[in-house]
Amino acid sequence: MLLTVETLQLIGFAVLGVASVVWVIGLLRLLRREEHRTATGRDGRALLDRVPRQTGPAGPPAECVELTAAEREAFASLVRQLTRRR
């Protein structure tokens, strides 16, 4: 024990340290819970399932663009790169 530090100061420092750890743990749990709520709705459905479709009578008509062979290969390469990372 340090001779220059009083017992009450040591107790206060320990209480402050414990309170800080409890606060950080609570904050992390709150952030995880909010992230989960953002990813899924309250009823458990994925958020994207609840987004209305953009095509049909109320939305713009669907568009289709033909890609060249080089564009198709570049897109396929990009998809391969993205799926390998997971």
Q: Would you give per-residue pLDDT tens digits along the chain (86 residues)?
A: 556 778 889 899 999 999 999 999 999 998 888 777 766 655 555 556 666 666 667 666 777 889 999 999 999 999 888 888 65
21 lies in some domain: yes
| pLDDT for position 82 | 87
57 lies in some domain: no
Expressed as residue numbers, the domain containing 23 is: 7-49
25 lies in some domain: yes
22 lies in some domain: yes
- Provide the domain count of the chain: 1
| pLDDT for position 50 | 63
CA distances (Å), origin 80, targets 6, 66, 75, 83: 63, 21, 9, 5
| pLDDT for position 61 | 72
1 lies in some domain: no
32 lies in some domain: yes
80 lies in some domain: no
- Residues with Cβ within 8 Å of 60's Cβ and at least 6 positions away in sequence, in order, are 54
56 lies in some domain: no
- Residues with Cβ within 8 Å of 31's Cβ and at least 6 positions away in sequence, in order, are none
